[in-house]
Structure formats: C-alpha cells, structure tokens
Amino acid sequence: MNLKPATLTQIDEVITHYPVKRSATLPLLHLIQEDIGYIPEEAITWIAQKLELQPINVYEVVTFYPMFRRKPIGRRHIKVCRTLSCALMGGYKTCEAFEKEFNTHRGEVSPDGEVTVDFVECLASCGTAPVVLIDDDLHEKVDAAKAKQISDQIKAEAAKRR
C-alpha cells in the first residue's frame, strides 16, 4: 500500500485529535480511501497496528459502512448525484450515458481501466442539476449530451497517455 506522504502526515495528525486511539479508525479509513480509492486488506492490518487494535476491529468498521470500497476503482472516478434535484433533472440518464460511453456498470471498473461510475448523494450544487463530480472537479448541468462530451475528453486524454 503506497500512501502519499501528505496522507501519512494527515494520518499522524488526525490520531492526535483523539484521546482514545481507536476512535481514529473511521477518519483513517476515509483518508486511505481518498488517497488510493479503496480499502485493501493490507490497509486493515496497517490501521490495526497503527491504532493498537486487532484487524477484526477495523474490519468490522469497514464492512459496517457501505461507503468503503473493498476493490480498486478506475483511473477517474465519475460520481453522479442521484438526490432529488438531480434525479428530477435527469441524473439517471446522465449516469446511463457515462455507463454506455465506457461500457461499464455502476460500481465497476470500465474494461479499459479508465473509469468507475457511481451514484452519490447531494453534491451541494442542486441549483445546477444534474451535477457530476469527476475526481475533484464539479461539472454542472450535465445532461446526456454533456456526459458524452466529457467522456470523449476523458477518452482523448487516455489515448494521449498510451
């Protein structure tokens, strides 16, 4: 597991915020998932050692919360909002457009390894629905046509890297 130096610094800092080390389990899992996109087995052991717990204690937290992923994601993470405003404005069609463009299904890595498409809850930009977050970039008013444009751009960038 290769964590970024910034993540390691944040982890050490976060642990100091809790009088009882085990209380840092949830924030550590979030930081690791933010960094590498999922929670591998070795992260569970690593956190357990770091917080002086048994791996089962960490494992229980990972399996309890559905937001933790146990499998790697694609190079880009496309998160389509499915909450009310976005759903009413066509968020489901937007999501289907991304799935079709990358020949994938929600929650899975596309066959080319480029993307994972997921539904997420409100991204706090309801006035510009439907909204899509791709890695750290927010895209507003993404209808199916705009989803195709964005997909073409992602594919073009991927082709340049090859």
Stretch in the footprint of ligand FES (CB under 6 A) among 10-18, 27-35, 104-112, 118-126: 118-126
Per-residue binding string, ligand FES, 7-46, x by CB under 6 A, is ----------------------------------------
Instruction: Check if the beta carbon of residue 73 is closer than 8 Å to that of residue 106.
Output: no
Strand order across the 137-139 sheet: 115-120, 76-81, 132-134, 137-139
Nearer to ligand FES, 41 or 121 (CB): 121
- Kindly tell me the burial class for residue 152, based on how many C-beta atoms sit within 10 Å of its own C-beta (0-12, 13-18, 19 or more): exposed
Reduce the DSSP state of residue 139 to 3 states and report it.
strand
- 86 touches ligand FES by CB under 6 A: yes
Nearer to ligand FES, 24 or 131 (CB): 131
- Supply the angle between the helices 5-15 and 25-36 in degrees, to the nearest 10: 170
Give the one residue of 26, 126, 138, 144 binding ligand FES; rule: CB under 6 A. 126
Nearer to ligand FES, 15 or 138 (CB): 138
